[in-house]
Amino acid sequence: MRTLLVLRHGKSDWDATFGGDEQRPLAKRGKDAAKRIGTFITEIGVTPDLAITSPAVRARETLDVARKAGQWSTPVQENRLLYEGGITNIIGLLRATDARVSTVLLAGHQPTSSNLVASLIGGGRLRFPTAGIACIQFTSAWQDIGPNTGELRWFVIPKMLE
């Protein structure tokens, strides 16, 4: 069994000084939400073996805050595909995951997060608010995942954890 956690970055701070979209940081609300999500993941026992994040500051910060709150020692990779790659490329990234890894967390953006989940579970529409997280399970190896091969196990938004 393989598990994919798809995490959308937390609320960003539009009032902060930043150079471009990729440098936009998290707002306090985004950090608080990331803490709740990180703790939740630990409490339910779905700690990722590997986390892959977009290089955007808000995605990296969301992952860092969640990891610290959940006390995960998960290795982190940064991959540009989570910032500007399409669904096909992200599925290719997942297919290349080491077979020893059972749970992967992707920290990224909209609309990619909802489109990826919809593709992997065979359709549907998912409203994916900031710091929302979806859990998809696969019965196949990473190399065999693709559209309509996963099952949505749960979807949680930070407001549910207040």
Domains of the chain: 2-161 (3.40.50.1240)
Count Cβ neighbours within 10 Å for each residue of 50-62 and write b for 16 or more, e otherwise: bbbbbebbbbbbb
In angstroms, rounded to a whole number, what is the distance separating the alpha carbons of residues 144 and 96? 10
Residue 38's pLDDT is what? 97
Q: Which residue has the tokens 């940064």?
A: 78
Which residue type sits at 37?
Answer: I
Q: Which among 70, 4, 85 has a CA at the least distance from the CA of 34?
A: 70
Query: What pLDDT is recorded for position 114?
Result: 96
Q: How confident is the model at residue 77 (pLDDT cuts 50, 70, 90)?
A: very high
Q: pTM for this one?
A: 0.94
CB 55 within 8 A of CB 78: yes
Under DSSP, the state recorded for 68 is H
Q: Are 74 and 108 in contact (CB under 8 A)?
A: no
Mean pLDDT of 110-139: 95
pLDDT mean over 130-145: 97
Mean pLDDT across the stretch 71-75? 95
